[in-house]
Amino acid sequence: MSTDKRFSDDVLISLDGPLGASNDAVVGPVSDFATDFDHTDERWIENPYPIWEALRAECPIAHTDRYGGAWLPTRHEDVSAIAYDTDRFTSRSVLMSNNRPPLDMAPAGIAPPISSDPPFHHEARRVLLPAFSPRAVEKLEASTIEFCDSLLDALEGRELVDAAAEYAQHIPVRVIANMLGFPQSDADLHRQFVHDLLESVNDPIEERFEKVQGLFMYLWAQIQDHIAEPQEDLTTYLINAEMHGEPLTPIHIAGTMALLLLAGIDTTWSAIGASIWHLATHSEDREHLANRPEAIPTAMEEFLRAYAPVTMARLVKEDMEWQGCPMKAEDWVLVSFPAANRDPELFENPNEVSIDREVNRHSAFGLGVHRCIGSNLARMELRVALERWLLRYPSFQLEAGREVRWSGGQVRGPRELPIQILRNPVPV
Ligand code: HEM
């Protein structure tokens, strides 16, 4: 047990705090995406791009009464303006659900720095930057290659594989668990946390709260283990880190660990899966990259643009009119970086995936002060995952007669991706 008074189990009592304001979940199919949108609607999950395109042309900032009231901008200009405007839009919660966290969770929020507003945000973010620098990420590349190869070894000899379930999903889980110093044997549990918290936004509030508590109890046990036996990893680093000359509070530490665990997993898993899905359905691009691996980094940016996996939320701080919309305090705004990436105002032929697109100022990693801290890491994982896969399997396609299943919610990527490996590739 720790002698550091910060880590007494009394801290856990603060996790039993008030739930904040909640509203009843409205479920069922959407009647009109301009006035009743829902990002968990089956049509959105299956193929959101035509929905956003129609909205951009007819109603560029859509509204819904679901989730207690929310707005959806689909133009790059609006998405960018909101992401940069931390005065009028707060990050107190970035996951749209039927529950708004209590106001007194500011300035840190539940998972700093993503749930923090400036000026607290700035310092909470600064604490994390060294761990995700290009040099720190470079050191992780050799073990990532080795791990991808071991996953591919396990598939050896099979004609039919699931590239999402048997390959993509394992890579970020292993990388972030190693960085945080969590047991590799907990990988299934880590994926369960992701599913519980990110994909089940319409579950009853009490159930969601219990799941958040489950995650924090797990993180608490990891913190206690690391206090007993410090390691050279991110958990020990956070325990010893300081902000304004003071050690971080235990809730700050656990919140940041929760963020890294969740932000690091299904985002990258989705990006790897969507890229493999593209290659399975576009044989010319697949052949091109299999023959010219040096073209992968440019192609990868195009996959990140076209299939950007992450949409974030904000809460409106005070009643106001914004671009003609009567926004109310505590309304949600879905900041759709994926929709911004398909805006014809910024990208020529935005619905065309051109793997050699030269000018590609996409916002898959966000815009403004919260821009992704893990982008170097995510890019390394995505590049290595594609390089190793294409080296082993230059020729593959979707398995005929099986469905690809995409995740619902704010992180979109294939969760079932049935692939047929072709043994006699067509010579190019
Ligand atoms: C392809 C993979 C990824 C994508 C597309 C992605 C996307 C994003 C986006 C859009 C944001 C902005 C959030 C906002 O505006 O509210 C963000 C923030 C963040 N991401 Fe990522 N991310 C990825 C991978 C990762 C990884 C691997 C990590 C680390 C393990 C990570 C850690 C973070 C953190 C800590 C923030 C919060 C930064 C802040 O609030 O200052 N991400 N990410």
Ligand 1 centre from 155 Cα, in Å?
30
Q: What distance in Å separates the CA atoms of residue 41 and residue 326, rounded to the nearest whole number?
A: 25
Site to probe by mutation for ligand 1, drawn from 84, 122, 256, 267 as the one with most ligand atoms within 8 Å of Cβ, is 267
Read off the pLDDT of each residue in 267-285 and give the average, rounded to a whole number: 97
String of DSSP letters for 29-86: --S-HHHH--TTSHHHHH--HHHHHHHHHH-SEEEESGGGSEEEE-SHHHHHHHHH-T
Q: Please identify, by atom number, the ligand 1 atom nearest to the C-alpha of residue 369.
A: 41
Q: Please identify, by atom number, the ligand 1 atom nearest to the C-alpha of residue 265.
A: 27
pLDDT band at 3 (very low <50, low <70, confident <90, very high): low
Q: Please identify, by atom number, the ligand 1 atom nearest to the C-alpha of residue 377.
A: 27
What does the domain layout of the chain look like in residue ranges? 5-24+54-421
Ligand 1 centre from 119 Cα, in Å?
19
pLDDT at 355 over 80: yes
pLDDT band at 22 (very low <50, low <70, confident <90, very high): confident
Are 12 and 221 a contacting pair, CB within 8 Å? no
* Tokens at 206, concatenated: 């009490």
Predicted pLDDT at 12: 53
pLDDT band at 6 (very low <50, low <70, confident <90, very high): confident
Q: What distance in Å separates the CA atoms of residue 7 and residue 392, rounded to the nearest whole number?
A: 47
More confident residue, 200 or 289: 289
Predicted pLDDT at 198: 74
More confident residue, 373 or 99: 373
Predicted pLDDT at 17: 46
Read off the pLDDT of each residue in 93-100 and give the average, rounded to a whole number: 90
Q: What distance in Å separates the CA atoms of residue 231 and residue 329, rounded to the nearest whole number?
A: 44
Determine which residue's CA is closest to atom 23 belonging to ligand 1: 267
- Looking at every residue in the chain, the average pLDDT score rounds to 92
pLDDT at 204 over 90: no
Site to probe by mutation for ligand 1, drawn from 82, 115, 262, 372 as the one with most ligand atoms within 8 Å of Cβ, is 372
Predicted pLDDT at 10: 58
Ligand 1 centre from 249 Cα, in Å?
22
Are 71 and 62 a contacting pair, CB within 8 Å? yes
Q: Please identify, by atom number, the ligand 1 atom nearest to the C-alpha of residue 314.
A: 16
Read off the pLDDT of each residue in 157-172 and give the average, rounded to a whole number: 97
Contact residues for 232 (Cβ-Cβ < 8 A; gap 6+): none
pTM given for the model:
0.94
pLDDT band at 202 (very low <50, low <70, confident <90, very high): confident
Predicted pLDDT at 1: 46
Predicted pLDDT at 195: 82
Q: Out of 11-15, 207-211, 316-320, which region has the weakest mean confidence (pLDDT)?
A: 11-15
pLDDT at 18 over 50: no
Q: Please identify, by atom number, the ligand 1 atom nearest to the C-alpha of residue 259.
A: 35
Determine which residue's CA is closest to atom 18 belonging to ligand 1: 372
Q: Please identify, by atom number, the ligand 1 atom nearest to the C-alpha of residue 335.
A: 15
Name all residues whose Cβ lies below 6 A of ligand 1: 83, 91, 94, 113-114, 125, 176, 259-260, 263-264, 267-268, 271, 309-310, 312, 337, 364-366, 370, 372-374, 377-378
The CATH class for the domain spanning 5-24+54-421 reads mainly alpha
Determine which residue's CA is closest to atom 31 belonging to ligand 1: 374
Ligand 1 centre from 374 Cα, in Å?
6
Q: Over pLDDT 90: what percentage of the chain?
A: 81
Read off the pLDDT of each residue in 248-260 and give the average, rounded to a whole number: 94
Ligand 1 centre from 210 Cα, in Å?
25
pLDDT at 372 over 60: yes
Ligand 1 centre from 268 Cα, in Å?
10
Q: What distance in Å separates the CA atoms of residue 122 and residue 117, rounded to the nearest whole number?
A: 8
Residue whose C-alpha is closest to residue 372's, from 78, 81, 106, 94: 94
